[in-house]
């Protein structure tokens, strides 16, 4: 091992580059970062091999490290090209097929370079030169490396041209930063050209590794300083041109400065616009939008009405004065059509709903009239008979009609037909019966203890008829003449956690006779109560005496029972 001071800057540079790679990896993500890492890793390996070559005292090891260093050098320009293609947004050009074609010559040349001792196609001559106490390799390239150098120079030249094109097509405030990348990538190319044509004052000193390391260090510092890998400003032109939204850029006097391809198609203007184009060439809706914030406008495009959502952005200078106004036109025609269709659908539904409400009012009015008419007819028919039992039968039928009429009115006024408040409904029936049925010299009180239970007509109608029969029966038979204590009829309704509904009608009257069997009773009303409770509601019915007569009914609603 020989002590070569020229290797120390390389080693320090490799350490600093590794630190920069760590910072870049922490602050950035994505494929372009991966390409930069591959490029930097190749430079680190290349620089370490160069240091090992400088520090080696054995000619054999010097030649070995030199060959490996040249092998890595072959692939560095390719890594630069792929990095720039990814950076500028042309990642579709770096497909596996294209990459394979571009890498074919470097791979073949790299294999020939490593196997040169077997055939001698790569180097014509390679010798050790001692100068100033240090030994260096002087090589005489063959035809293969000359062709390879030309190819790699073309790759580097194309990469620099591609990056320069990106610089001139990006906003001015990014050109200075991107120019640093051009300079950084041009340093190793310039250094290698000096060595190739023997223009360096140190012919035996290989300057290219120093230039490559300086280039990558400058590139890493620029990436961290200006956050290039996240912004990718060089892709501005492609983004501005290919974006589907139309974009117009005006100066502070509202003269057109620029427009993208979508805007030129929308307004039938030349994409290479002249500065003499003013705001007057645009429709009035656009002229109004320039001075508004965020609005929607309608434009006729190819004889078709289209809607656009316009976003207005102002760009001001450091002095705070307006420099330019950017209008972005986003096509919302499809969304607008859906909104119009939705509004038409709502209006149609509202119209149908209004018709149904009119029809429902008409039906309710007719049903109500029919109930009243039937009740009046029963009343008139009852007047023909002097027999109290017959007249009583007509009155009972009329009460049943009144119960069903009340239910119909409740259903009509409720918001949902399938969710009637059963407790309120039953109490209103009992209160109506108390007002119609008058017992001489006896004032009967009604106690309602009910909770809100939502049911449909299937449960409401039978329960209403049952309460009608039982309250009527109590008013007529439970309190004959004067009785001790205040006569009371109690109505209770509750619902358990399991959904079981319990209905109870009780009084403190004389109760049922001891020998009374309600299952064998000839009373039409009680038979109707049993039929409604058992058969229609599917519930459990109980009659009995407890300080008066009581009736209990337990049932589930139709939905819960199923």
Walking along the chain (562 residues) 10 residues at a time, the average pLDDT comes out as 67 81 72 80 87 82 86 86 76 73 88 86 80 70 83 83 69 60 74 70 69 78 66 52 81 79 82 64 81 78 85 73 81 88 90 81 76 79 80 76 71 67 87 69 84 86 87 83 76 91 91 74 77 88 87 80 40
The two tokens of residue 338 are: 């859906």
**Which residues face 295 on adjacent strands?**
310
Q: Where are the domains of the chain?
A: 7-237, 243-331, 334-414, 417-562
**pLDDT tens per residue across span 136-184:** 777 777 888 888 888 888 888 888 787 777 666 655 545 566 667 777 7
CATH number attached to the domain at 243-331 = 3.30.450.20
| CA atoms of 518 and 522, how far apart (whole Å) | 8
pLDDT at 302: 79
Q: Comparing 7-237 with 243-331, is the CATH topology the same?
A: no
221 burial via Cβ count (<10 Å: 0-12, 13-18, 19+): middle
- 50 Cβ partners below 8 Å, 6+ apart? 7, 10, 65, 69, 206, 209
From start to end of 364-487, where are the E strands?
A: 420-421, 445-450, 454-455
Q: Domain 7-237 maps to which CATH number in 1.10.3470, 1.20.1070, 1.20.5, 1.25.40? A: 1.20.1070
Q: Give the 3-state secondary structure percentages of the chain, helix then strand then coil, rounded to 5.
A: 60, 15, 25
pLDDT at 505: 93
198 burial via Cβ count (<10 Å: 0-12, 13-18, 19+): exposed
Q: 3-state SS of 108-145?
A: HHHHHHHCHHHHCCCEEEEEEEEECCEEEEEEEECHHH
pLDDT at 561: 41
Contact 429, 475 (CB under 8 A): no
Burial 452-487 (b: 16+ CB within 10 A, else e): ebebbeebbbbbbbbbbbbbbbbbeebbeeeeeeeb
- The CATH architecture that domain 417-562 belongs to is 2-Layer Sandwich (3.30)
- 272 Cβ partners below 8 Å, 6+ apart? none
**Which residues face 294 on adjacent strands?**
311
């Amino acid at each position: 091992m020989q002590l070569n001071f020229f290797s120390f800057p390389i080693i320090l540079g490799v350490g600093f580059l590794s630190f920069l790679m760590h910072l870049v990896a922490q602050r950035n993500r994505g494929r372009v970062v991966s390409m930069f890492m591959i490029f930097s890793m190749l430079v680190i390996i290349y620089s370490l091999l160069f240091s090992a070559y400088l520090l080696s005292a054995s000619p054999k090891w010097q030649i070995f490290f030199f060959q490996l260093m040249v092998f890595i050098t072959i692939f560095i320009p390719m890594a630069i090209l792929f990095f720039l293609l990814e950076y500028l947004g042309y990642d579709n050009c770096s497909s596996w097929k294209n990459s394979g074609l571009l890498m074919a010559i470097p791979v073949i040349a790299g294999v020939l370079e490593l196997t040169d001792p077997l055939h001698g196609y790569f180097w014509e001559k390679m010798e050790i030169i001692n100068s100033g106490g240090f030994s260096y390799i002087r090589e005489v390239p063959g035809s293969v490396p000359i062709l390879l150098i030309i190819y790699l120079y073309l790759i580097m030249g194309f990469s620099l041209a591609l990056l320069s094109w990106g610089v001139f097509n990006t906003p001015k405030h990014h050109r200075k930063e991107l120019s640093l990348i051009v300079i950084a990538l041009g340093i190793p190319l310039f250094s290698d050209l000096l060595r190739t044509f023997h223009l360096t004052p140190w012919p035996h000193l290989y300057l290219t590794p120093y230039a490559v390391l300086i280039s990558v260090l400058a590139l890493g510092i620029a990436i961290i300083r200006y956050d290039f890998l996240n912004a990718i400003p060089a892709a501005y032109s492609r983004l501005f041109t290919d974006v589907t939204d139309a974009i117009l850029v005006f100066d502070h006097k509202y003269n057109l400065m620029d427009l993208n391809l979508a805007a030129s198609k929308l307004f039938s203007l030349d994409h290479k616009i002249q500065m003499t184009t003013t705001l007057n060439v645009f429709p009035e809706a656009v002229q109004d939008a320039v001075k508004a914030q965020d609005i929607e406008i309608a434009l006729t495009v190819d004889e078709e009405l289209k809607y656009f959502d316009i976003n207005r952005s102002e760009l001001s200078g450091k002095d705070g004065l307006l420099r330019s106004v950017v209008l972005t036109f986003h096509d919302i025609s499809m969304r607008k059509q859906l909104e119009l269709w939705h509004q038409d659908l709502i209006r149609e539904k509202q119209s149908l709903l209004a018709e149904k409400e009119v029809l429902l009012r008409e039906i309710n009015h007719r049903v109500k009239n029919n109930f009243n008419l039937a009740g009046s007819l029963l009343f008139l028919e009852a007047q023909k008979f002097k027999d109290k039992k017959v007249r009583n039968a007509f009155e009972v039928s009329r009460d049943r009609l009144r119960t069903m009429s009340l239910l119909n009115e409740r259903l009509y006024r409720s918001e949902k037909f399938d969710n009637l408040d059963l407790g309120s409904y039953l109490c209103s029936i009992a209160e109506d019966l108390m007002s119609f049925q008058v017992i001489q010299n006896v004032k009967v009180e009604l106690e309602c203890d009910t909770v809100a239970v939502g049911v449909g007509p299937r449960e409401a109608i039978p329960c209403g008829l049952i309460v009608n029969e039982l309250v009527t029966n109590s008013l007529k038979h439970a309190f004959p003449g004067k009785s001790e204590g205040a006569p009371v009829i109690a109505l209770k309704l509750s619902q358990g956690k399991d959904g079981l509904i319990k209905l109870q009608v009780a009084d403190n009257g004389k109760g049922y006779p001891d020998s009374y069997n309600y299952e064998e009773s000839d009373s039409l009303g009680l038979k109707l109560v049993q039929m409604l409770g058992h058969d229609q509601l599917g519930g459990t019915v109980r009659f009995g005496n407890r300080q008066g007569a009581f009736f209990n009914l337990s049932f589930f609603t139709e939905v819960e029972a199923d």
